Amino acid sequence: MTGIADDTLIVQEVATRDGFQIEPVFVETAEKIRLIDALSEAGFSRIEVSSFVSPKAVPALRDAAEVFAGIRRRPGTVYVALVPNPKGAERALAAKVDEINLVASVSETHNRANMGMTPDASIEGFTRIMETVRGAPVSVNATVATAFGCPFEGDQPADKVVAQVERYLSLGVDGVTLADTTGMANPRQVARLVAAVLPLVGAEGLTLHFHNTRGLGLANVLAACEAGARRFDAALGGLGGCPFAPGATGNICTEDLVSMAHEMGLATGLDLEALIGLSRDLPRLVGHDVPGQVAKAGRPCDLHPAPALKAA
């Protein structure tokens, strides 16, 4: 990837992956495809479409192959799939994904709960995946989950996170994500970890994945931005959460992030009005209200008629 301009944010939409994976209702395949096509139209350069994981672990995403087969691929958009193991990578290659997102937690306890194995076993599988994908037209991103804290173990030392990033880079991945899986990060911690990882990965290759579990999602984005990061995951409506982490709730909300970026003079290439329209349709798909705020309040420029003045 070429350099990212200083006044630009890259937003990767993850609602149909991180968002739908935790929903108890199964969103119909045709609805998923329609939503992803509409997200492509709204201007995303990157969409995490689904996961090639065990259908027993995440039944909500059991239709990943059908979804990839059904979506319209907008030229210039990278369609990503989460992959936990070599079997997932085979399925992702067969579905012709543009990018594989490998995920392992830095916390051993969370990785055992989420992936049924140690982080070392996950990364050993990634080594085999890198051999399989060599020469295939697919890029590879690798995520450090629970990078800002684990709901079972608590704090994760920064040097352990950096060591996992270095292992990923030594495998030859194209990009790295630091994920705050259950919203434990704070802005100063984010600034420190971004400062430690950015020299290794570069702004073109580093993505931050925040959850708004404790209300610090956009504060963490701002801290990461000020430390030089430019790529962020976000979910329409603020859907999202890890099914294997107690109390997990939504990702940072795409339209709230895009509204903040545009108000601050940062370009995203995204059509905010279209995103608000799509977000307002989410309760129909998932059967409940969603946490995003801008879809409820409107954009700051959407003004209201002044109240009639009382006669003097």
Q: Where on the chain is the footprint of ligand COA (CB under 6 A)? A: 21, 51-54, 57-58, 82, 84-85, 87-88, 91, 103, 114-116, 145, 242, 244
Looking at the Cβ atoms of 85 and 177, the one nearer to Zn ion is 177
Let me know: does 21 contact 51? Beta carbons within 8 Å: yes
Q: Which residues, at least 6 apart from 73, have a Cβ–Cβ distance to it below 8 Å?
A: 40, 79
Residue nearest to Zn ion (CB): 18
Beta bridge partners of 139: 99
- The minimum distance between CB 242 and ligand COA, in angstroms, equals 5
Which C-beta is closer to Zn ion: that of 138 or that of 239? 239
Catalytic position from the list 225, 242, 253, 301: 242
CB of 57 to ligand COA, least distance (A): 4
Q: Nearest-5° angle of CA 235, CA 37, CA 50?
A: 50
Measured from the CB atom, the residue of 225 and 233 that comes closer to ligand COA is 233
Comparing CB distances to ligand COA, the nearer of 58 and 150 is: 58
Q: Does 18 bind Zn ion (CB under 5 A)?
A: yes
Window of 1-9, 12-20, 72-80, 224-232 that interacts with Zn ion by CB under 5 A? 12-20
Contact 68, 96 (CB under 8 A): yes
Q: Using the rule CB under 5 A, is 98 a contact of Zn ion?
A: no
Could you list the beta-strand ranges (E) of the chain.
10-13, 46-51, 78-83, 99-105, 139-145, 175-179, 206-209, 231-234
Angle between helices 254-263 and 272-280 (to 10 degrees): 160
> Does the active-site annotation cover 242?
yes
CB of 304 to ligand COA, least distance (A): 41
In whole angstroms, the minimum distance from the beta carbon of 115 to ligand COA comes to: 4
Beta strands in 137-239, from DSSP E residues, in sequence order: 139-145, 175-179, 206-209, 231-234
* 290 vs 198: CA distance, rounded Å: 33
Phi then psi for 204, rounded to 5 degrees?
-70, -25
The one segment of 18-26, 74-82, 187-195, 272-280 that binds Zn ion by CB under 5 A: 18-26
Catalytic residues: 242
Q: Summarize as ranges the residues that interact with Zn ion (CB under 5 A).
A: 18
